[in-house]
């Protein structure tokens, strides 16, 4: 009986060895450092994913909508969702450095760090460079820092995020500020 119990324990333990966050089948789902990183610093940046999630193609328009404001009414705005669309608290697109917003930076890690979190919220960009954090990832009023990274390369956001649960049109939509053109507040996110 003890041997059977020991063997079954080893089988379950082997399921988590080597897992770091939610890589593989759903790398756009944030991971708040569940402990499955087995001795890896939860604040450390992970290497770029070799197989990021495929780009999510929207039924309307037939594209991934990279670079667009997706936190708005009728899309991913938490209190005014589109049909079948989940609410996002933060979302955006990361481009390859020097590509002038033409080439996606797929498989990069995006982190949000807040004093209210013991480990950062993390997610990875998909094949088109898009990322998101579900609505309510940080609740209540907060300030946070964020960066995008891949291995030793880290690009921090120079200002802090602040807000609540993404309550207004474009609230916390990274692509609303990080864009090109006359209304740009900052350059597109690149790594």
Residue 73: CB atoms within 10 A of its CB come to 13
What global pTM score does this model have? 0.76
Tell me 9's DSSP state: H
Rounded CA separation 84/103 (Å): 28
pLDDT at 80: 84
Nearest to 120 by CA among 24, 17, 42: 42
Tokens for 66, please give them. Answer: 């990279």
Cβ atoms of 156 and 120 within 8 Å: the answer is no
Rounded CA separation 132/122 (Å): 10
Rounded CA separation 85/1 (Å): 49
pLDDT at 107: 96
Per-residue pLDDT of the chain (191 residues; tens, 9 = 90+): 444 433 333 333 333 222 233 333 334 444 433 333 344 566 788 899 999 999 988 877 889 999 988 888 888 888 888 888 888 888 999 999 988 888 999 999 999 998 888 888 999 999 999 999 998 888 777 888 899 999 999 999 988 877 654 444 456 788 888 888 887 788 889 99
pLDDT at 148: 95
Helix (H) and strand (E) counts in the chain: 2, 10
Q: Which phi-psi region, left, alpha or beta, contains residue 6 (left: φ > 0; alpha: ψ -120 to 50)?
A: alpha
pLDDT at 42: 66
- The domain segmentation of the chain, as residue ranges, is 1-191
73-79 contacts at long range (C-beta below 8 A, 24 or more positions apart): 73/169, 76/132, 77/166, 77/169, 77/171, 78/135, 78/136, 78/165, 78/166, 78/167, 79/167
Rounded CA separation 118/169 (Å): 29
Rounded CA separation 150/4 (Å): 42
Cβ atoms of 111 and 24 within 8 Å: the answer is no
């Amino acid at each position: 009986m003890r041997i059977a119990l020991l063997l079954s324990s080893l089988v379950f333990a082997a399921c988590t060895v080597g897992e770091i966050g939610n890589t593989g089948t759903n790398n756009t789902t944030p991971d708040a450092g569940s402990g499955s990183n087995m001795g890896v610093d939860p604040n450390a940046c992970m290497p770029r994913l070799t197989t990021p999630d495929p780009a999510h193609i929207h039924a309307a328009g037939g594209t991934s909508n990279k670079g667009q404001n997706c936190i708005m009414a009728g899309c991913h705005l938490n209190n005014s969702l589109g049909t079948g669309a989940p609410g996002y608290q933060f979302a955006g697109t990361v481009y390859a450095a020097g590509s002038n917003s033409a080439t996606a930076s797929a498989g990069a890690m995006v982190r949000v760090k807040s004093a209210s979190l013991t480990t950062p919220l993390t997610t990875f960009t998909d094949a088109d460079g898009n990322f998101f954090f579900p609505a309510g990832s940080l609740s209540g009023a907060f300030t946070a820092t964020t960066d995008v990274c891949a291995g030793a390369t880290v690009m921090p956001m120079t200002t802090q995020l602040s807000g609540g649960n993404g309550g207004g049109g474009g609230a916390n939509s990274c692509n609303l500020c990080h864009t090109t053109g006359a209304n740009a507040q900052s350059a597109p996110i690149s790594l």
